[in-house]
Amino acid sequence: MKQRLILSSAAISVFSSLIAYFALADSDIYAQGARPSGPAAKQTASVIKAEDRSVKFAAAAFENRRLRRSLQWPFGDKTQTGWNVYVPLISYAIGTDSDPDSAEFALAVSKWQQKSGLDGTGVLDQATLESFTKYWQSRRLGRGTLAATDTLLAAPIGDFFDSTRSPDLLQLEAETYAAYKRMIAAAAKDLQLKLSGSGELAANEKFLKIISAYRSPAYQESLRKKEPNAGRAALATNSPHSTGHALDIYVGGEPVKTEDSNRLLQVQTPAYKWLVKNADRFGFYPYFYEPWHWEYVPGK
């Protein structure tokens, strides 16, 4: 009888211990669930934030895919459609080689927007595109003065796209020409352009040759009369070509046609993409609307 009582007491003791253990365990689990703390809590918050950002920029990428071919925006006297032509320039400005339809591209756009005082949505809308065009335009010559005669030199006809170009149209400012030659030497090496025995661009190599350089006001006026309905109202009086610092350079397609299809072809060539990423090292900056037009602005 005494033995049975001892066993019963032991069983009760074990049972009580188990109850106490599970009670404490449940209490601990509840406390952990109710009060996340330390590195685990921070990690959870980071994961949630990263997931939110991923969703945000995936949505922005989807919208960019639509807008780069359909965004309606004013420029000059015409409504422009999309920003597909400007993808190489935009990508260089925001420091990414990501596909323009990607979330990574949208993230880079967002960072640009924030630096520009815009809402960092990652969507390349009209306001964001205008921030890019203002930036590109700010790097150009602006209203330059007419080139002084003693600053001009006549470049060899071999440097020009058109081997039959008039000798009167081979001039450009001397420092600009020297910078152009340095740039072409680097480009020829990187792009493996065809060279002559003397190291110049070969006669049958068209890429990066000069289409047009210095143009006098009188010549500008003659061009204007030839294109009275071209919609280029500032051509005769404000052309940067009159400074001797502006060059039209062959980058592919029809040399100087502004149709979207031609410009889209031009901006996809290795020559144009090389200029976008390298021309500023030599002091040249683009006119964004014309892929062939580059201006020498040292010290930018």
pLDDT at 12: 42
Please determine, for residue 24, whether its predicted confidence score (pLDDT) is greater than 60. Answer: no
Please tell me the distance from the alpha carbon of residue 141 to that of residue 246, in angstroms, as a whole number.
9
Measured in whole angstroms, how far is the alpha carbon of residue 220 from the centre of its chain?
31
The larger pLDDT score, comparing residue 270 to residue 38, is at 270
In tens, the pLDDT along 100-132 reads 999 999 999 999 999 999 999 999 999 999 999
Q: Which amino acid is at 149?
A: T
pLDDT at 185: 97
Q: Which of 143, 165, 130 is nearest to 248 (CA)?
A: 165
Please determine, for residue 298, whether its predicted confidence score (pLDDT) is greater than 50. Answer: yes
Per-residue confidence band for 45, with pLDDT thresholds at 50, 70 and 90: low
Q: Say if CB 296 and CB 284 are below 8 A apart.
A: yes
Strands 78-81 and 152-154: what pairing?
unpaired
In tens, the pLDDT along 219-271 reads 887 877 776 555 444 454 678 999 999 999 999 999 999 999 999 999 999 99
Give percent above pLDDT 90 in the chain: 70
Q: Which of 223, 213, 203, 214 is nearest to 163 (CA)?
A: 203
Please determine, for residue 175, whether its predicted confidence score (pLDDT) is greater than 90. Answer: yes
pTM above 0.85, yes or no: no
Please determine, for residue 70, whether its predicted confidence score (pLDDT) is greater than 90. Answer: yes
